[in-house]
Amino acid sequence: MNTSQAFIELVRKRTSIRKYSDQSFEAQEFKEILNLFKELETGLFGSKIRYKLISNLDEQAETRFGTYGFISGAQYYIAGAVNQNPMAFIDFGYNTEKLILALTGLNLGTCWLGGTFSRGQFAEEINLQENELLPCITPVGYATESRGLREKLIRFGAKSDTRLPFETLFLNTETNTISDDFIQMLECVRMAPSASNKQPWRLVVTDNQFGFYLKRTAGYGKFTPGNDLQQVDMGIALAHFTGAAEAFGYTFTISNGSNMEILPEMEAVAEVVLSK
């Protein structure tokens, strides 16, 4: 399989796993996870990120860490802390999705959690500092053979198996002719996970320039005050796009949204320019 097909497969393979088997990791996997943490210490826009692998194995209790019943059987969690700055949520989303895709490649299951976890417990465990944010965590481990009933209900509630139409997400692709490579790379963005599957990413494609805009879901922020999950979603979309671009043999430059065209009802987040 060539690199572009391998990346598309990885993106397709990733799915939120909420029920875990009791199979434990091998020493090699611990090593690989810790190496990934090291590789992902700095965000695209310079944020400092530190990850911690947290054991949930406690003989005294079935679950040490609270996820309000959303996750079952997880032996480990990964928490990430990022220093506060204007691009913190984007950087966190970008690096953490890179981590999640790499874990998917190791056949490990994950599930972004930005709302349904006991924040205080994880903040304590990672020793969260005053200038840091803890946007999300993920369980990590082997999936059970089939999804649990509760998991199926959560997926049904969030319509997790669907995505918005291509033309809704990629604004001027109907009128512009874009290459087959670009279509496949944009499909990788379309398959990305997002909080409550809201898919707030909108892209404006002009030749080899890709403007990433955030179209916020009305009222969404009030569920997680101070934790901008839709900016995290933007970082995730950028990770899928740049990962796909590299796999298709492109190099890219990225800049923040300050010089992007202002469009109604959307926030300019970042612009990616590709070259070959």
Bridge partners (DSSP) listed for residue 141? 109
Nearer to ligand FMN, 161 or 265 (CB): 161
Give yes or no for a contact between 54 and 122, defined as CB atoms under 8 angstroms apart.
yes
Give yes or no for a contact between 257 and 268, defined as CB atoms under 8 angstroms apart.
yes
| 121 contributes a contact to ligand FMN by CB under 6 A | no
| 232 contributes a contact to ligand FMN by CB under 6 A | yes
Task: Give the E-state strand segments of the chain in sequence order.
Answer: 49-55, 76-83, 109-110, 132-133, 137-141, 201-206, 209-214, 251-256, 267-275
- Interface residue with ligand FMN, options 43, 73, 80, 114 (CB under 6 A): 114
**Smallest gap from residue 276 Cβ to ligand FMN (A):** 30
Q: Candidates 2-10, 33-41, 54-62, 108-116: pick the segment binding ligand FMN (CB under 6 A).
A: 108-116
| DSSP element (H, E) containing 3 | helix 3-13
Six-digit token string for 237:
């979309």
| 220 contributes a contact to ligand FMN by CB under 6 A | no
Please report, as residue ranges, which positions from 25 to 84 form the binding site for ligand FMN (by CB under 6 A).
Answer: 70
Task: Using alpha carbons, select from 49, 104, 108, 77 the residue that is nearest to residue 235.
Answer: 49
Q: How many residues contact ligand FMN, by CB under 6 A?
A: 22
- Interface residue with ligand FMN, options 47, 138, 144, 196 (CB under 6 A): 196
Q: Candidates 37-45, 50-58, 231-239, 249-257: pick the segment binding ligand FMN (CB under 6 A).
A: 231-239
Task: Using alpha carbons, select from 15, 8, 259 the residue that is nearest to residue 161.
Answer: 15
Please report, as residue ranges, which positions from 125 to 144 form the binding site for ligand FMN (by CB under 6 A).
Answer: 136
- Interface residue with ligand FMN, options 137, 195, 204, 244 (CB under 6 A): 195
Determine the Cα–Cα distance for residues 23 and 82; give it in Å rounded to an integer. 30
Nearer to ligand FMN, 233 or 271 (CB): 233
- Interface residue with ligand FMN, options 29, 50, 72, 115 (CB under 6 A): 115
Q: How many CB atoms lie within 10 A of CB 147?
A: 17
Nearer to ligand FMN, 208 or 215 (CB): 215
C-beta contacts of 256-259 below 8 A and 24+ residues apart: 256/45, 256/87, 257/211, 257/212, 257/213
* Contact residues: ligand FMN, CB under 6 A: 15-16, 70, 111-116, 136, 154, 158, 160, 193-197, 229, 232-233, 236
